[in-house]
Amino acid sequence: MKITVVGSLNMDLVSHVHHLPKAGETISSHDFRLIPGGKGANQAVAAARLGAHVSMIGMVGEDEYGSKLLNSLTEAHVHVEGIKRSGTTGMAFINVSDDGENNIVLVPGANAQMSVEHIEENLSILEKSDVVLLQLEIPLPVVEYVVKKASGLGKLVILNPAPAQALSPELLQHVHTLTPNETELASLSGMPTATLSEAETAAKKLLANGPKRVIVTLGEKGALLVTAEGATHVPACRVEPVDTTAAGDSFTAAFAVGIAKGMAEAEAAAFASKVAAIVVTRRGAQPSLPTLAEVEAHTF
């Protein structure tokens, strides 16, 4: 069960606030922390803690933040031979409110320097993988190249389309599983997604472009697994959220692990929902990600 994550690594600068600031509003933070993050790195750490053999291809800066991010990955037993150092490390400025909601401003840094050449240098990592997992915090031409290359190698390709941007049918036809949230689904489909019925219709529109399945994460409403055969609603585990950072990342990673282990897709989605529920009860991105033992021991 080998998973390769191709994606972003960021240092998260996290401010905890009573409420998210409105336009033009200045507020005070009651807690500030530096936490390893980035959607790619979060998914790599999540999958590794759940027992998968994980390698990552990405870029960090030649600075202290880059060293901290590499240390966080190696401590989680993620293989980092595919990570190159250049320039400055990507950063994410994150505000987290007392009710667990967040907003995020990304500074791409080294992530923006990811290139097709860097992928070519690490093709052996892709070739040894069973599952290839991507997001959209690195240049889209690189994502497109990896998706096509991995699909051509017969790998299961999972794309978490976040942050949302336009994706061509040519790219989507090489994706096996797409994991948008409601907002991303609305952006990709151009359709409303406020209800389960609307989300199902929008997901079916994306299926027409090639993916075998679309799994829509719906926060407290759970998740919706949509395939050509129909839709299955996976209820959320009931918890009191503290911080929703990395909830989507953990869901996607856990689903990848479940599928790689041979779980049926509905079982893998339920497993992913449980992992994400644990994550939102903890603060921070990578510090919130549970081990497989913690997931198996947790009751809701």
CA–CA distance, 128 with 121 (Å, rounded to integer): 14
Q: Does 249 qualify as catalytic in the annotation?
A: yes
Task: Specify the CATH class of 2-9+38-88+111-297 in words.
Answer: alpha beta
Give every CB contact of residue 8 below 8 A, 6+ residues apart in sequence: 38, 39, 40, 41, 58, 90, 108, 111, 135, 137, 138
pLDDT, position 114: 97
pLDDT, position 99: 86
Q: What is the 3-state secondary structure (H, E, C) of the chain?
A: CEEEEECCCEEEEEEEECCCCCCCCCCCCCEEEEEEECHHHHHHHHHHHCCCEEEEEEEECCCHHHHHHHHHHHHCCCEEEEEEECCCCEEEEEEEECCCCEEEEEECHHHHHCCHHHHHHCHHHHHCCCEEEECCCCCHHHHHHHHHHHHHCCCEEEECCCCCCCCCHHHHCCCCEECCEHHHHHHHHCCCCCCHHHHHHHHHHHHCCCCCEEEEECHHHCEEEEECCEEEEECCCCCCCCCCCCHHHHHHHHHHHHHHCCCCHHHHHHHHHHHHHHHCCCCCCHHHCCCHHHHHHCCC
237-283 pLDDT, tens digit per residue, is 989 888 887 899 999 999 999 999 999 999 999 999 999 999 999 98
pLDDT, position 37: 92
Confirm or deny that 244 is annotated as ligand binding: no
Confirm or deny that 220 is annotated as ligand binding: yes
16-36 pLDDT, tens digit per residue, is 999 999 999 999 999 999 999
Low pLDDT (below 50) residues in the chain: none
pLDDT, position 241: 87
pLDDT, position 128: 96
Confirm or deny that 99 is annotated as ligand binding: no
Handedness of CA 267, 270, 166, 83 (dihedral sign): negative
How many CB atoms are closer than 10 A to CB 102?
Answer: 18
Confirm or deny that 190 is annotated as ligand binding: no
Confirm or deny that 283 is annotated as ligand binding: no
CA–CA distance, 195 with 264 (Å, rounded to integer): 25
Catalytic residue (one of 63, 98, 130, 249): 249
pLDDT, position 283: 84
CA–CA distance, 297 with 49 (Å, rounded to integer): 14
pLDDT, position 240: 87
131-134 and 156-159: which strand pairing? parallel
Confirm or deny that 217 is annotated as ligand binding: yes
Give every CB contact of residue 19 below 8 A, 6+ residues apart in sequence: 27, 97, 98
- Pick the closest to residue 35 from 6, 5, 14, 20 (CA basis): 14
pLDDT, position 70: 97
The answer to whether 242 and 205 have CB atoms below 8 angstroms apart is no
pLDDT, position 232: 96
Confirm or deny that 279 is annotated as ligand binding: yes
Please give the structure tokens belonging to residue 152: 């051509």
Domain assignments of the chain as residue spans, ordered by start: 2-9+38-88+111-297
pLDDT, position 106: 85
